């Protein structure tokens, strides 16, 4: 008889909700605890790539994502700061499947939340304590509530409250860069390429634009070096004039877009060296709590979705295997996921150097940008569900 497993997910962002949906899809009881009074994401864009989209389509979310996403494909290119073309941006996997969307964070959050029973989501629950014993894992919240589970998944971000219960504190590392971001109605730029992801690179900074919300909005991000740290915040109001000045003299497409900007936000870029461990008994870290990464491959949310899928597969196998403990299952999750996320973290850092043109020879940079399609193809082809099943089968599990 299968073991009954109840999982508590701390954190109601994309990683936490995606993990919850993956678990529920495989018949595992799950509850999500979010500190905010309501599920919400500040308006900003995110890429959903083939490696995570195929997982969400298997969870039955394909149609809902297609209704709110903006297909990204034709016209996607890299440029030097003057607008000269460096190369095309890969938007398909090896099969030619263009499973790539620009998504408004609020839209994808709603799709994920709508896939769960309302009773599974508990807002206004700021986690302040964790303990575990032979009977299970126990959470306490600032509002005085307590929760019990067989497994706790910490999906509570780069400044995770629960991380200290897993590994010694590891402060985030500032990347020396501030990102200005915002959204513009697409009809303000009627000549803009509708499906294009476009990246301009030059003199220590870079600028990118891609569509979100069915193509009705353009998401722009300008990455600018700083001499002092900027908070890791999605909602800090940025200086629109400072943003425009940072890209003065660039390709007229960039400067023309910035003329349309009235307000923007900024956030500081942080990541962290790979942690020694992600798990402690019945507690496991997921997404930014385990492996925050710079946004220069657009894989942060996608890797968190992969994490959740891997956990769901492994815990489903554990439920059917009397010889496998929950602690063993979480260790297998870490063993499977840690090498891949460490690689993606490192490659995101390297790609940031390319985008910011930190090369004595730009021809070498351009060559590496062209060759990066091989890395992206490998990222997009990866099927975490199949990898997890095969990994557990090789380990002797009845997968």
Q: Active-site residue numbers?
A: 181
Other C-beta atoms lying within 10 Å of the C-beta of residue 114: 12
| Cα–Cα–Cα angle for 26, 28, 32, rounded to 5 degrees | 115
Q: What is the DSSP string of 180-209?
A: EEEEEEGGGSTTS-TT--EEEEETTEEEEE
In terms of DSSP H, where are the helices of 181-325? 240-246, 252-259, 300-319
Answer for the pair 18, 112: CB distance below 8 angstroms, yes or no: yes
Q: Token pair for residue 101? A: 């969307």
CB-based contacts of 68, cutoff 8 Å, min separation 6 = 103, 104, 107, 108, 110, 111, 213, 214
Half-sphere exposure for 97 (CA within 13 Å, toward CB):
14
Helix, strand, coil percent content, the chain, rounded in steps of 5? 40, 25, 35
Phi-psi group of 136: left, alpha or beta (phi > 0 → left; psi -120 to 50 → alpha; rest → beta): left
Q: In 3D, which of 109, 22, 95, 171 has the Cα closest to residue 381?
A: 95
Other C-beta atoms lying within 10 Å of the C-beta of residue 393: 12
């Amino acid at each position: 008889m299968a073991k009954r497993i109840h999982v508590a997910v701390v954190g109601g962002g994309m990683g936490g909700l995606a993990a919850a949906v993956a678990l529920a899809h495989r018949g595992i009881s799950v509850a999500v605890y979010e500190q905010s009074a309501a599920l919400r994401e500040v308006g900003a864009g995110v890429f959903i790539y083939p490696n995570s989209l195929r997982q969400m389509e298997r969870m039955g979310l394909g149609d809902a994502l297609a209704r709110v996403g903006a297909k990204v494909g034709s016209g996607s290119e890299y440029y030097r700061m003057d607008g000269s073309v460096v190369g095309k941006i890969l938007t398909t996997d090896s099969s030619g499947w263009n499973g790539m969307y620009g998504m408004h964070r609020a839209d994808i959050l709603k799709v994920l939340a709508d896939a769960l029973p309302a009773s599974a989501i508990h807002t206004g629950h700021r986690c302040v304590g964790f303990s575990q014993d032979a009977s299970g894992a126990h959470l306490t919240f600032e509002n005085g509530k307590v929760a019990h589970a067989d497994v706790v998944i910490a999906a509570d971000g780069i400044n995770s409250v629960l991380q200290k219960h897993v590994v010694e504190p590891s402060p985030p590392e500032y990347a020396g860069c501030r990102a200005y971001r915002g959204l513009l109605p697409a009809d303000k730029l009627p000549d803009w390429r509708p499906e294009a992801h476009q990246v301009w690179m030059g003199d220590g900074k870079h600028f990118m634009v891609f569509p979100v919300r069915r193509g009705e909005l353009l998401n722009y991000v300008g990455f600018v070096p700083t001499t002092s740290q900027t908070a890791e915040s999605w909602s800090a109001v940025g200086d629109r004039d400072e943003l425009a000045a940072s890209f003065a003299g660039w390709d007229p497409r960039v400067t023309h877009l910035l003329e349309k900007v009235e307000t923007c936000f900024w956030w500081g870029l942080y990541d962290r060296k790979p942690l020694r461990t992600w798990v402690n008994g019945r507690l496991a870290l997921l997404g930014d709590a385990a492996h925050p990464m710079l946004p220069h491959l657009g894989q942060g949310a996608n890797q968190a979705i992969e994490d959740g899928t891997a956990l769901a597969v492994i815990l489903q196998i554990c439920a059917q295997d009397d010889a496998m403990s929950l602690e063993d299952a979480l260790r297998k999750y870490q063993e499977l996921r840690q090498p891949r996320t460490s690689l993606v973290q490192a490659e995101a850092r390297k790609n940031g150097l390319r985008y910011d043109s930190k090369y004595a020879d730009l021809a070498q940079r351009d060559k590496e940008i062209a060759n990066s399609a091989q890395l992206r193809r490998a990222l997009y082809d990866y099927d975490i569900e199949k990898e997890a099943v095969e990994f557990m089968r090789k380990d002797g599990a009845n997968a």
